[in-house]
Amino acid sequence: MKRTLLVASLALLSAGAYAQNSVTVYGRLNVTAESQKSGGGKRVTELNNNSSRIGFKGNEDLGGGMNAGFVIEHGFDPTDGTAASTFWGRESTVYLGGGWGKVNLGRMAASESYFATVDYVSMHNHDTGTSSDALAAFIATGQFKNAVGYYSPNMGGFNFSVQTAEKVNPTGNRPLGLAANYDAGPLHLGFGMEKFGSGKSFNLRGLYEMGALTFGGYIERATGEYNGNANPDSAKGNALRLAVKYSVGASDFHLNGGRVSSTTNNGSGRLNGSQYTLGYNYNLSKRTKVYTYYTNLNLTGTASDFNSFALGVRHNF
């Protein structure tokens, strides 16, 4: 009897310990078949990857309101099985959190300014693939490697974050990112700022849910560098995008459009133009959808004029 009680007690203790720890495998496969036309070229048909990924995340309850965890995420192309970047190139972070917020260390997936503004209003395909936003100029998005970030707790619908990283060679510049979000029922607001060297961007986002209709948009002001401008020290630009979604049953209808304009002191590297996307999603389940869209990008001073008809399948796991 004593032996039985001892085994049962150890089993309960073990179950309790494991209950405080968890590791989750997650990911997304998102592929489109597209008919594309670039500039004056011929129309071509091809399969495209839309930011497919696989990841692992874990969390441990340390007691006293403290917790620790990690996220490692790898991007890959399911059309041919190749890696999208270095392994765990999307994100590889470890964190420590509590009632005071959370601190992340490692490689960040992107800037929190991007998540708070552009990504938030990209409702039809999560800002991926050929319909992704080509207008916003996020200065430091690709620079948050060897980085540290602080994420505040939610305070009455408000939260904020700060990111920085080691100096990037050979420029010797240190990236900086700030973001803030506010949620009050159907109203969702966001702010983002990035700085890297002479480049700066400031962004405001708003989104409002009104029954079956959702309206959103952002506005951005970038100075010092704009979308890889050839003369970054003298570039200035503005970007604006509006988006709307109408949901009925399993169907989502999407429309978004935006404009960008930039100038330089000597007139070189000007970037002006528009982008719009018309899309339809049919949700087969909470994790799987089929969708179609038409996207059109028209930018002066570049070879980026582009349009595509797409039919895709996205599955989250």
Contact between residue 162 and residue 182 where contact means Cβ atoms under 8 Å apart: no
For residue 193, what are the CA distances in angstroms to 132, 147, 160?
A: 20, 16, 12
d(CA 112, CA 158): 14
Domains, the chain, ordered by start: 21-316 (2.40.160.10)
- pLDDT band at residue 13 using 50, 70 and 90 as cut-offs: very low
pLDDT of residue 84: 85
Does the structure show a pLDDT above 70 at 20?
no
pLDDT of residue 17: 46
Report pLDDT digits (tens) over 165-191. Answer: 999 877 788 999 999 999 999 999 999
Report pLDDT digits (tens) over 241-255. Answer: 999 999 999 999 999
Average pLDDT score over residue span 194-222 = 95
Report pLDDT digits (tens) over 283-308. Answer: 999 999 999 999 999 987 555 689 99
Report pLDDT digits (tens) over 115-158. Answer: 999 999 999 998 999 999 999 888 877 789 999 999 999 999 99
pLDDT of residue 184: 97
- pLDDT band at residue 18 using 50, 70 and 90 as cut-offs: very low
Instruction: Tell which residue, 56, 64, 72, has the closest CA to residue 97.
Output: 64
CA angle 171, 173, 178 (to 5 degrees): 150
Whether the upstream peptide bond of residue 170 has omega within 30° of 0, thus cis, is: yes
d(CA 142, CA 163): 12
* Greater pLDDT, 7 or 279: 279
d(CA 275, CA 305): 10
Contact between residue 254 and residue 247 where contact means Cβ atoms under 8 Å apart: no
Cα four-point dihedral sign 105, 107, 110, 111: positive
* Greater pLDDT, 61 or 223: 61
CA dihedral 105, 111, 115, 116 (to 10 degrees): 100
pLDDT of residue 6: 43
Q: Phi then psi for 229, rounded to 5 degrees? A: -55, 140
d(CA 162, CA 59): 22
Average pLDDT score over residue span 209-235 = 79
Does the structure show a pLDDT above 90 at 16?
no
The overall pTM is greater than 0.85: yes
- pLDDT band at residue 14 using 50, 70 and 90 as cut-offs: very low
Does the structure show a pLDDT above 60 at 49?
yes
pLDDT of residue 246: 98
pLDDT of residue 269: 55
DSSP assignment of 197-245: TTEEEEEEEEEEEETTEEEEEEEEEEES--TT-SSGGG-EEEEEEEEEE
Average pLDDT score over residue span 212-229 = 84
pLDDT of residue 268: 53
d(CA 130, CA 32): 9
pLDDT of residue 8: 46
Report pLDDT digits (tens) over 57-108. Answer: 999 999 999 999 999 999 999 999 999 888 899 999 999 999 999 999 999 9
The overall average pLDDT reported for the chain is 89
Residue that has been written with the tokens 């994790």 in this structure: 287
Instruction: Tell which residue, 121, 115, 114, has the closest CA to residue 206.
Output: 121
Contact between residue 121 and residue 245 where contact means Cβ atoms under 8 Å apart: no
For residue 276, the number of C-alpha atoms closer than 13 Å in the C-beta half-sphere is 6
For 61, the 3-state DSSP assignment is strand
